[in-house]
A and B are shown apart, each in its own frame.
Chain A
Amino acid sequence: MIWNEQRECEDLETRRKRQLADLKELCFRLYDRVPFYRARFDAAGLTPADIRQLSDLSRIPFTTKDELRETYPYGLLAVDESELREIHTSSGTTGTPVVGAYTDADISLWGEVAARCLCMAGGRRGDVVQNAYGYGMFTGGLGLHYGARALGANIIPAASGNTKRQLMLMRDFKSTILTCTPSYALHMAEVAKELSIDPDRLHLNIGVFGAEPWSNAMRAEIENKLHLKAFDIYGLTEIIGPGVSCECAAQNGLHVNEDHFYPEIIDARTGEVLPDGETGELVLTTLTRQGTPILRYRTRDITRIDSSPCACGRTLRRMHRLLGRNDDMLILRGVNVFPSQIENVLLRIEETQPHYQIIIERGASHLDEVELQVEVEENFFSDETKELERIRRKIHSELKQELGISVKVKLVEPRAIARSEGKAKRVIDRRNLQGGTP
């Protein structure tokens, strides 16, 4: 089923016209109402009237996360405060949070795009959606909630945490769709196993997982353990929250709701716009947001756009599953490393699970010292040290092959690494590269 066939399967010419009309209107609106954007246009020697075609978008400067922080709380507000109905902020782990402010129209839009996503994954009216994303300031919980509500599903607003209760709710209310972070889904699967809950006695058919990058190997693991089909959903607070894009049954990329969120791919170094098919940083413009619209937001997510036709019939272009994040990328002894590569190695080795943490320190030698901590699971634990040493060496050599650098591998007790009920904390960087006191 397609939630909004008219929009999602629209012919490309009509869509482009609509996108252009919305973009023009947005530029005028922001120029009028948001001093930050007016100054932007002025400094670039542009007026909103200079935006005549979609490609003119590239003349407008980018908006960065730092700028969103600097304008906290209401510096980018494009409506009167009395129009606001809801505020969300990003997790703000690194300081001032980023604000998303929603009007009535924005909340409806959120429901619409999130419902499209649930539908892409196969959800429909009458499904029981167990929403185990965190509710609150984090956009995951309420975003999927609005989507499931628009869809006509029965919502179990379980939020994240209390895993035993999650499993009980899942069983008793016959949840058919699970929405949460992929790492929490995996955690639930493990707890289910510990409690000897047979996944076949649950009613889950579909999982819609997002808010952190995850590999296809991890997808296979979740599907295998929870007996459901897992779909990738993408979104970010700066744009709207979950609902920017999602996989359809073809699972060949995530359809971007581009009638509302216009995607560009740029070369992260030069800022140059790249053609569809090339890999680079995703930049998004909210064509129709009211509260806090944003022009050319640099997401720092690395992907590429696929404009080839999709078997599902949607004409919305697809973004490839996230290949990484500029932020997540670690530079270890000069080598670029994405945590997803480490995850892949651990999933490839038969004995190990992707429960790991990377600790980076700069030792006395001023070299990066990297330690990968991997939890010892019962399936490979042995009473003989030589067997554990064999697995440790295997992880070490596979990592060296994959990453090109030598990483110290340490085996740790299970649960030594905090399980994520929100986002997994995989990297602890103690290098203090910013300078100053830590």
Chain B
Amino acid sequence: MKISQISVFLENKNGRLAEVTRILAENNISLKAASIADTSDFGILRIICDQTEKARQLMHDHLFTTRVNDVIAVRLDDRPGSLAAIMTLFEQNRVNVEYLYTTHIGQEQRSAVVFKVEDVERGLSILRQNGMETVKGF
């Protein structure tokens, strides 16, 4: 299943990340995963949370530039080679990975890896065909 991810544009300035997380906290939004892609001038904060639409509206109201897009999350066993298995699968099927980050599935005490791939539908169907377990929600 596809997972919604919100990206937020941040300048490399003191306190920007603190502001975003504070706004989410004050509105009782629970973060399930977060990562930052940074360049020398700006960063892109990518988050997965329990109330995507509300979080996006809050960011918009506070004049942040945001974007929502779909990513894939896959359960990962805690043993050597589990990520390599997925990457090999993607490589063989020429699925282009733009970025990835890992997170934790709270209730299951397991890890998950979040992928942004060029073609989300195709990525999902390849995982399914090969018996990989995708995360339906956090």
Contact = CB atoms under 8 A, between A and B. Distances in A.
Contacts of A411: 9, 41-42
Interface string A367-400: 0000000001110011111001100000000000
Please classify how large the interface on chain A is, using the bins under 10, 10 to 19, 20 to 34, 35 or more: 10 to 19
A377 B66 CA distance: 9
Contacts of B64: 413-414
A162 B69 CA distance: 34
A374 to B, nearest CB: 11
A383 B39 contact: no
A384 B42 contact: no
Contacts of B116: 383-384
B37 interface: yes
Interface in B17-58: 37, 39, 41-42, 44, 46
Nearest to B67: A381
B63 A378 contact: no
Nearest to B69: A383
Nearest to B99: A384
B39 to A, nearest CB: 6
B105 interface: no
A388 B69 contact: no
A411 B98 CA distance: 21
A415 interface: yes
Nearest to A411: B42
A419 to B, nearest CB: 11
Nearest to A415: B63
A383 B45 CA distance: 8
B123 to A, nearest CB: 15
Nearest to B63: A415
Interface of A: 376-378, 381-385, 388-389, 410-416
The 6 closest A-B pairs by CB, nearest first: A383-B7, A381-B65, A376-B9, A415-B63, A376-B65, A385-B37
